[in-house]
């Protein structure tokens, strides 16, 4: 396993497209912020102190006792990767946008071969342990993150205070250091103008709604990430329980929205789904914004039983394969927007082309009566 394989392969664990509530929930994420006691935080680090932290962490994951409990993990130094390659890791959600942009201290990412576990080293905090699973699996993600934390803590001296908990660089993460999020596809809420109301309500009870790429990004393609805002005062289990409760409410609201759209405006919805299918399977130029939107229409179409020959897994993979950096993976960043649109459209046409084996029985979307 090497970072090159990770970069070449668009698919990653969270894209599986199957699991609890997979029709609405794309993925579940648990992230823990941890720091080494006494060490300067990454934004103040020199090359030497940054390197020292990297070495401590590398030694920890190479320890036989750690490998026995967590399986093999490999470290990839981000300083050795180009900006484009780092953006690919960001587009796969393995590292944050900030970690991809940052050029300062020595920094890296630790990955488990299936990429469900990724640990950012020297991002805002020394360690950001992230577990990312497909569908609505917050509890499983927490169990894994908790295990990784336990095992690392046996080798590393984490900064912890009895009153303030795990000490983070920014006080918005102090305490549990836990940020849990659920990525949801909410086209019905958006179309019925309920989204802003729902999100305002969520913000009043301590949850934040962000777009597909986290902090500061817009919600494109009707993909919304709901996460806990507070990290101090509640236990990890309480935080997760609350997030699961509100997520279930959002899921329910979205389901109701989808049902009522199908009941009240069936022709418009069908038109929207099949129009999107028609465009994606025929267009020769597609920009990223419209791609996100049409992919959202297809995802809705699958859930409403209108489309049968496309899987959520294919759509999840396309979300990443059609992003700017991934598209030009082998072009070393030389590709302009026009050529990206050209390649994007080609990739989508190919991915959505009916399975050649099944072509005799079925071509294109199943006809509606």
Partner 1 sequence: MNCEECKQRPATVHLTKIFNNQKTELHLCEECAKHHDDIPFNLSFSMEPNFSIQKFLAGLLESVTVSASDAGSTSAGNGAGSAPASGYSPGVEDPDEAAEEALAAAPHCSNCGMTYSQFERIGRFGCSQCYQSFAGQFEPLLRRVQGNSRHTGKAPLRTGENLGYKREIEQLRQELQAAISAEAYERAAALRDQIHALEGKLSSEK
Smallest separation (angstroms) from partner 1 to the CB of 139? 15
Q: Which is nearer to partner 1, 2 or 217 (CB)?
A: 217
Q: Which is nearer to partner 1, 296 or 312 (CB)?
A: 296
Smallest separation (angstroms) from partner 1 to the CB of 309? 24
Residues 122, 363: Cα–Cα separation, whole Å: 50
Residues 82, 178: Cα–Cα separation, whole Å: 30
Smallest separation (angstroms) from partner 1 to the CB of 354? 26
Residues 54, 76: Cα–Cα separation, whole Å: 11
The burial class, CB within 10 Å (0-12 / 13-18 / 19+), for 87 is: buried
Q: Which is nearer to partner 1, 12 or 296 (CB)?
A: 296
Kind of pairing between the strands at 165-166 and 160-161: antiparallel
Candidates 322, 309, 306; CA nearest to 352 is 309
Q: Which is nearer to partner 1, 58 or 288 (CB)?
A: 288
Beta-ladder partners of 224: 184
Smallest separation (angstroms) from partner 1 to the CB of 318? 17
Provide the token pair at 272. Answer: 């929207």
Q: How many residues does the chain have?
A: 369
> Are the C-beta atoms of 121 and 43 separated by less than 8 Å?
no
Q: Which is nearer to partner 1, 50 or 134 (CB)?
A: 50
Q: Which is nearer to partner 1, 3 or 280 (CB)?
A: 280
Q: Which residues contact partner 1 (rule: CB under 8 A)?
A: 35-41, 43-44, 124, 146, 149-150, 153-154, 158-167, 169-172, 174-176, 178, 190-193, 195-197, 199-200, 203, 209-211, 215-216, 218-222, 230-236, 239, 272, 287, 289-290, 292-293
Q: Which is nearer to partner 1, 109 or 156 (CB)?
A: 156
Smallest separation (angstroms) from partner 1 to the CB of 55? 18
Smallest separation (angstroms) from partner 1 to the CB of 332? 25
Q: Which is nearer to partner 1, 338 or 366 (CB)?
A: 338
Smallest separation (angstroms) from partner 1 to the CB of 53? 12
Candidates 261, 246, 293, 277; CA nearest to 193 is 261
Residues 357, 176: Cα–Cα separation, whole Å: 51
> Are the C-beta atoms of 227 and 180 separated by less than 8 Å?
yes
| DSSP labels, 5-39 | HHHH----GGGG--STTTTTEEEEEEEEEE-BTTS
Residues 5, 13: Cα–Cα separation, whole Å: 14
Burial 312-321, CB ≥16 within 10 A → b, else e: bebbbbbbbb
Q: Which is nearer to partner 1, 197 or 333 (CB)?
A: 197
Smallest separation (angstroms) from partner 1 to the CB of 152? 10
Tell me which long-range contacts 303-307 makes (C-beta under 8 A, separation of at least 24): 303/23, 303/24, 303/258, 304/258, 304/262, 304/269, 304/273, 306/269, 306/270, 306/273, 306/274, 306/365, 306/368, 307/273, 307/277, 307/365, 307/366
Smallest separation (angstroms) from partner 1 to the CB of 326? 20
Provide the token pair at 5. Answer: 């394989």
Q: Which is nearer to partner 1, 32 or 111 (CB)?
A: 32
The 10 Å Cβ neighbour count of residue 327 is 22
Smallest separation (angstroms) from partner 1 to the CB of 289? 5
Residues 262, 268: Cα–Cα separation, whole Å: 9
């Amino acid at each position: 396993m090497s970072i090159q394989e990770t970069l070449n392969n668009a698919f990653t664990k969270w894209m599986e497209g199957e699991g609890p509530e997979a029709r609405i929930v794309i993925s579940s994420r648990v992230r823990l912020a941890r720091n080494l006691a006494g060490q300067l935080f990454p934004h103040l680090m020199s090359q030497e102190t940054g390197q020292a932290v990297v070495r401590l962490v590398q030694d920890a994951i190479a320890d036989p006792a750690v490998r026995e409990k967590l399986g093999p993990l490999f470290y990839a130094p981000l300083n050795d990767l180009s900006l484009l390659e780092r953006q690919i890791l960001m587009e796969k959600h393995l590292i944050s946008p900030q970690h991809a942009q940052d050029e300062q201290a020595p920094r890296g990412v630790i990955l488990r071969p299936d990429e469900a576990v990724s640990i950012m080293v020297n991002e805002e905090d020394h360690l950001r342990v992230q577990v990312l699973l497909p569908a609505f699996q917050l509890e499983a993600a927490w169990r894994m993150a908790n295990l990784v934390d336990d095992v690392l803590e046996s080798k590393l001296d984490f900064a912890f205070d009895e009153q303030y908990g795990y000490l983070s660089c920014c006080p918005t993460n102090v305490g549990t250091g836990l940020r849990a999020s659920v990525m949801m596809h909410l086209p019905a809420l958006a179309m019925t103008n309920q989204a802003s109301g729902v999100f305002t309500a969520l913000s009043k009870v301590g949850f934040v709604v962000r777009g597909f790429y986290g902090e500061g990004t817009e919600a494109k393609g009707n993909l919304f990430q709901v996460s806990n805002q507070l990290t101090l005062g509640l236990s990890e289990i309480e935080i997760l329980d609350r997030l699961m409760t509100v997520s279930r409410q959002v899921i329910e609201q979205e389901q109701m929205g989808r049902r009522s759209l199908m009941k009240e405006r069936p022709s418009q919805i069908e038109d929207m789904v099949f129009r999107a299918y028609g465009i994606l399977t025929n267009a020769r130029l597609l920009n990223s914004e419209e791609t996100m939107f049409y992919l959202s229409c297809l995802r809705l179409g699958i859930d409403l039983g209108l489309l049968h020959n496309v899987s959520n897994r294919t759509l999840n993979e396309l979300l990443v394969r059609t992003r700017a950096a991934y598209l030009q993976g082998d072009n070393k960043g030389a590709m302009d927007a026009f050529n990206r649109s050209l390649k994007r459209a080609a990739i989508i046409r190919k991915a959505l082309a009916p399975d050649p084996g099944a072509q005799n029985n079925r071509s294109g979307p199943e006809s509606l009566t």
